Chains A and B, each alone.
Chain A
Amino acid sequence: MDSMTVVGTSLAVRGGAAKARGEARFAADVQLPGMAVARLLTSPHAHAEIVSIDTRRAEAMPGVFAVITRADVPTVDAADLSTRTHAFLARRFAVFAGQPVAAVAARDIATAEEALRAVEVVYRVLPAVLGIEAALRPDAAAVSRESAKPAADAAEANVASRIEIRGGDTDVAFAQADVVLEGSYRVPMFHQGYLEPHAVVAHWDRPDHVDVWACVQSPFGARGLIVDALGIPSHSVTLHTTEIGGAFGGKDTGLFSPLAVLLAKKACRPVRLALTRQDDMTGANPSPQVEARIRLAATRDGQLAAIEGVVRVNVGAHRGSAAPDVCFMILHKYRFPAYRLEAIDVATNTVSFGAYRAPQALQAAFVIESMLDDLARKLEMDPLELRERNLIREGEASVTGRTIPRHGGLAVLRAMRDHAIWQDTPSREDDATGMLRGRGAALGLWGSGAFPASAIARLEQGGFVRFVIGQVDLTGSYTSLAQIAAETLGVPADRVLMTKGDTDTAPYASVSGGSSTIYSMGAAVRDAAADLREKILEKAATELGAQRDDVSFDNGEVYVRAHPERRCTLARLYDLETDLFAATGAPHVARGSVGSMSLRESAPCFAGALAEVTVDPKTGQVRVCRLVAVQDVGKAINPRLVEGQMQGAVAQATGAALWEGIEYDAEGHIANPDFLDYRMPTSADVPSIETVFLEEPGGDGPYGAKGVGEPPVIAPAAAIANAVADAIGRRITELPITPERVWLACNGESAGT
């Protein structure tokens, strides 16, 4: 692999010029003749029974083409109204403030908004279940569920699931431990913060067929959602993908497509539903709220002995489970001889959660990496040394019983230890200004998504090679996929064409997410390229009158090794393939397909972070001075794109650490449904983010690549929390680490409990 010429180079991103010119087409940019625009009427109540909805006044307004409510939703067998898929419009109950109750399609936004005000909804307000603690009280009201399945235990009506994850004897381990630590941690919901609100355009071009353009990470998943929600056959829906203005897990299958599809049907014209920022902030799918109460036992020399505790996750008003994931990710990096964690998913009258970049891993890392730092301080040990001592190694059994494969965890820890931030002991107090300075480290672990994926490839006129895939081009993934194709085929990258298929024309692909695109789709593209290369060599050998084994392929041409002047170009092969009278055989459709997680190894991806902060003890203000991301990427297919993923993830995690968090008021309304109050990092908030990537072998990825997109978001929030603890000598146990919490901690009050 030393001779690689395309993989490992920082080619400029495909489609970059179109984006820079404003020509790239996002879902809301799709313009169709006669198109109406839509707005949503959402529930103002966190919990209410909808007594009646009167749309007559709205429907009579000039310029209003359609109003839809629960009455317009087709009856679907097997519809489960406890899922977001089926509860895209509220039926009997509204179960969170912001849930769509009606939708309007009109000639313009002003008319649509006026029509919303004319829809008369009578609610019978029910007691809202708000907050994990309140939901679990024995006398708590129950979140209304419209599924057939009643709660297993009426006394725990809001417990969506409860499981225990255990191994070893924790009682003995705690009894014999030299050191025991405990802590309670809280992490709020975070919005993914994509700049483009959810958008979808739907157009019924025939009575039994609808074209849909949606900003989704999974075209096939998005089609599946429409098919399931509306009970129509899959051939009635063609899902066209567009550019996506950021997703980070929040646009997996798209939540709002069924609304646009129904509106377009009723309005008899194309409809564009582009959410307002407020509707997106209140009604999409943020990450879940997490609380953990954990005890940790260790020996004097820094061996972890046991961990126990309870993790409670607010999953919102619809079905979902996240608490077990948090528990597994508290456990998965380190060796725990004994563990017992209870995972409780709690239903409340808040918006249900979705995926957000390495779902639940940031929260789990905040818990365990905070605790390891406190343990290191207690044992007067270097925190990275403590992590190294307890890092789970290749060949050991994981919590899930799987044998840990080869990984780069140790290399990441050592690169962090060798970094200047760790080597230069920071002064705890800066005399000149009275600022407190601290440094922190944390480690994260994620898997490379081994998801089902397939690609097809074929020769094109002029000697180009076209790959058709059913995945979107998320932040440069097509560029990296083309590099893999070019490297495998042995052609320059500019001979590779990437075509984004729709759900009618592309072979199946799973979601662009889960750090799977390069690991899984990259492997499918590699296999399709290898298949095509083999066929090219075979056909060219026939054309050149040589044996298959006597020809080689170089720079887009096949030649006979013994007679290099005997050559055949790809352009010629295309002409032969498509010639009615040529003997070189049928046009070849090359294929590559890879299977699921159960069939393929998911390479572990370790990613660490180092942070240096200053804290103003007078104001509680935290300033991040330096941030370093250290990651084992396996093989960087395009180093600039890898670096961009790492830097972006670190900035997102910095927001989670210091500023972000969805806040609910006492009535269950989101108090900060806009970018002014939901404070994401700006260019002035984050320093230049340094990246260190390691290329450790392991896994099944193309050219050794591992998942890249999610791992770097896991550790930085914990690293910043550890740096703040280092600076002020107190531990903040709740995100975000606001000036108020820091000030209270600095001034002797306990914060975050």
Chain B
Amino acid sequence: MGTAIRLTVNTKRAELEVEPHVTLLEVLRDELGLTGTKEGCGSGECGACTVLLDGDPVCSCLVLAVEAANREVVTIEGLAVGGELHPVQRAFAENGGFQCGFCAPGMILAAVALLRRSPHPTEAEIRAALVGNLCRCTGYDKAVRAVQIAAEEVARG
């Protein structure tokens, strides 16, 4: 007794039948096989499941799949264009922005959203933008630097 929904995930259209209680996170991971989006807490406290919903970072564990109907979702798998890493992805990977990598997809997407709305953020703005993305490995220092490095690269074009 599911509800038929349509949504766009990483520029591809998807049509699904979902139960009303199913979250966007479950659909992404279990229905669409997009396991880059992680579940760390299931209650919107850690940010590991962050995706972009119409461009805004959201915890996909708190969004029901039916709420995502007719909207556009970008997951970490949709960020690299033509195999080329997004500057934020590259900056994190090359500068120790993550260690275990479990928080990385969510944190990278939160940083991408930040740079779209504020291309030249201060350190305080970066720290505020990442406040919903817990990381237990890095102490955040290198994540913040990675965002700064990515911002410079985006600005250079």
Contacts and interface: CB of A to CB of B under 8 A. Distances in A.
Interface of A: 12-13, 15-17, 19-26, 28-29, 31, 108-110, 192-197, 243-248, 274, 276-277, 474-476, 640-641, 643-644, 647-652, 674-676, 680-684, 686, 688-689
* Centre residue among B135, B140, B142 by max chain A CB count within 10 A: B140
A21 B38 contact: no
Contacts of B89: 17, 20-21
Contact of A648 (B37, B104, B136): B136
A197 B100 CA distance: 13
A21 B136 contact: no
A633 to B, nearest CB: 16
Contact of A23 (B36, B38, B94, B133): B36
A676 B40 CA distance: 13
Contact of B35 (A17, A22, A195, A676): A22
Question: Nearest 3 A-B pairs (CB), nearest first?
Answer: A22-B36, A245-B102, A19-B101
A688 B99 contact: no
B136 A193 contact: yes
20 contacts: A13-B96, A16-B94, A19-B101, A20-B93, A21-B89, A22-B104, A193-B136, A196-B100, A244-B100, A247-B100, A644-B138, A652-B136, A675-B40, A675-B46, A682-B134, A683-B128, A683-B130, A686-B139, A686-B140, A689-B139
A20 B108 contact: yes
- Interface size range on B against A: 35 or more
Given A21-B85, A689-B139, A196 B40 contact: yes
A643 B138 CA distance: 9
Interface centre among A109, A277, A475, A648 (most CB of B within 10 A): A648
A25 B38 CA distance: 11
Nearest to B105: A22
A643 B96 contact: yes
Interface in B70-129: 75-77, 79-80, 85, 89-90, 92-96, 98-105, 108, 123, 126-128
A25 B85 contact: no
- Identify which of A195, A248, A644 gathers the most chain B CB atoms within 10 Å of its CB: A195
Contact of B46 (A17, A195, A647): A195
B101 A651 contact: no
Interface of B: 19, 21-22, 26, 29-30, 33-43, 45-46, 48, 75-77, 79-80, 85, 89-90, 92-96, 98-105, 108, 123, 126-128, 130-144
B33 A31 contact: yes
A643 B142 CA distance: 9
Nearest to B46: A675
A476 B75 contact: no
B25 to A, nearest CB: 11
A244 B99 CA distance: 10
Contacts of B37: 22
A648 B35 contact: no
Contact of A644 (B19, B76, B99, B127): B99
A21 B37 CA distance: 10
Contacts of A688: 123, 141, 144
A19 B104 contact: yes
Contact of B144 (A20, A274, A683): A683
A684 B135 CA distance: 12
Contacts of B99: 246, 475-476, 644, 648
A151 to B, nearest CB: 38
A474 B100 CA distance: 7
A12 B77 contact: no
Given A243-B100, A276-B42, A194 B136 contact: yes
B18 to A, nearest CB: 11
Contacts of B38: 26, 195-196, 245
Given A245-B100, A675-B134, A680-B134, A277 B41 contact: yes
